[in-house]
A and B are shown apart, each in its own frame.
Chain A
């Protein structure tokens, strides 16, 4: 199956609010965090919002990429 592609604008629509799915991007990959307890309503730890590319902010988070591996990867982010 072909990998699904998302632009930044398309990604922004999946903000997890009002029943929408919660997608996040990291290093060109898109993940579906909708079913994760820590992404309920599209917000994560009061600091982050679904629908965004989190590549630049993971460095400041108190965890590494390993926790992203628990979230299903569903596509890639394209320029």
Chain B
């Protein structure tokens, strides 16, 4: 634990235990989403599905990166991940991104993907709101993740015909915002 780092956050008025619970819940959401997206990606086949597979894969890898980036901050602040993986799954800040009953229904898969991203956008907005101007390091991390989650939402939303957002797909390295926390 980074004792003084935690103390500074406490002194700023943030409820650190509450923040830690949110960070762990969002870490759980990232790792479980990585798992569920693996299944979704495998099932994105056919003329429609193959066209979405690449962005589903990018989102999957970046969600795993988010998990990796969150973990050090949880331990710095004196928190920990649960010993039990089942407990970790069930405390996720977002519901499971389960494969639809008709796995070949690409629209249904897209709706699962966009709902998962929207849940993440809400979660990191909450953490940014809690930490802005108070816990600078957590804010910086949550903002970096939020930037990527918003792009994920936009990618899937555009495929659902909800309107343009002006984003391009990744070229080269993943996690342009979060990678600085993973060095």
Binding site for B on A (CB under 8 A): 37-38, 40, 45-47, 60-63
Contact = CB atoms under 8 A, between A and B. Distances in A.
Question: Which interface class (under 10, 10 to 19, 20 to 34, 35 or more) fits B?
Answer: 10 to 19
SS class, residues of chain A in contact with chain B: loop
B129 interface: yes
B121 to A, nearest CB: 8
Interface in B84-105: 90-96
Contacts, number: 29
Contacts of A47: 18, 22, 126
Given A45-B126, A46-B25, 5 more contacts: A40-B90, A45-B123, A60-B129, A62-B122, A63-B122
Q: Which 4 A-B pairs have the closest CB atoms?
A: A46-B21, A62-B122, A37-B95, A62-B125
Interface of B: 18, 21-22, 25, 90-96, 121-123, 125-126, 129
Contacts of B126: 45, 47, 61-62
Nearest to A36: B95
Contacts of A38: 93-95
B95 A45 contact: no
A37 B94 CA distance: 8
Nearest to B119: A38
B25 A37 contact: no
A46 B129 contact: no
A50 B95 CA distance: 18
19 contacts: A37-B92, A37-B96, A38-B94, A38-B95, A40-B90, A45-B25, A45-B93, A45-B123, A45-B126, A46-B21, A46-B22, A46-B25, A47-B18, A47-B22, A60-B129, A61-B126, A62-B121, A62-B122, A62-B125
A40 B21 CA distance: 14
